Amino acid sequence: MKKLVLSFAAASMLSGTAMAAGDGAPQICLGCHKATGESVIPEYPKLNGQNAAYLEKALKAYRDGTRKNDHMNTFAKTLTDDDIHHIAEFYSKQD
Ligand code: HEC
């Protein structure tokens, strides 16, 4: 587990976006989806344990606008393909 978090942090640094050090998800996401993938309020979806391929597809759809949500369209635009891949892998592995 520790190894996963460390390799995720390293990958995040390589991708060049502002990722939270060590907790696996970008800081900007944590106001709504916790670092563990749990939602902050019931209206927001849980991400923990979701299929990585699904999370990746959802984030790309928000980024290119084919899936519409005012919050997510804005936030997904800040993510690179690498970020999306790593976030999806990370959340899929949370309990
Ligand atoms: C302001 C609150 C907010 C922030 C910040 C936010 N999200 Fe979301 N997120 C939501 C809401 C609300 C939805 C559900 C939108 C919908 O109905 O399509 C969602 C949906 C998602 C989904 C799809 C879940 C599913 O089951 O289809 C993913 C993946 C996701 N968010 C990841 C992220 C990531 C990664 C970040 C940071 C880059 C982020 N979110 C930032 C509120 C937020």
Could you report the per-residue pLDDT of 13-45, keeping only the tens digit for each? 444 444 444 457 899 999 999 999 999 999 999
What residue's CA is closest to ligand 1, atom 23? 58
Amino acid at 94: Q
What pTM did the predictor assign?
0.83
The confidence score (pLDDT) of residue 7 equals 47
Domain ranges of the chain: 2-92
Return the residue whose CA atom lies nearest to atom 9 of ligand 1.
72
Q: What is the pLDDT of residue 3?
A: 52
Residue 59 Cβ inside 6 Å of ligand 1? The answer reads yes
Q: Evaluate whether 37 touches 45 at the Cβ level (below 8 Å).
A: no
**Mean pLDDT score, 65-88:** 96
Q: What is the mean pLDDT of residues 46-72?
A: 98
- Expressed in angstroms and rounded, the spacing between residue 72 Cα and the centre of ligand 1 is 5
Radius of gyration of the chain (CA): 12
Residue 33, classed as helix, strand or coil, is: strand
Residues forming beta bridges with residue 39, ordered by sequence position: 33
Architecture of domain 2-92: Orthogonal Bundle (1.10)
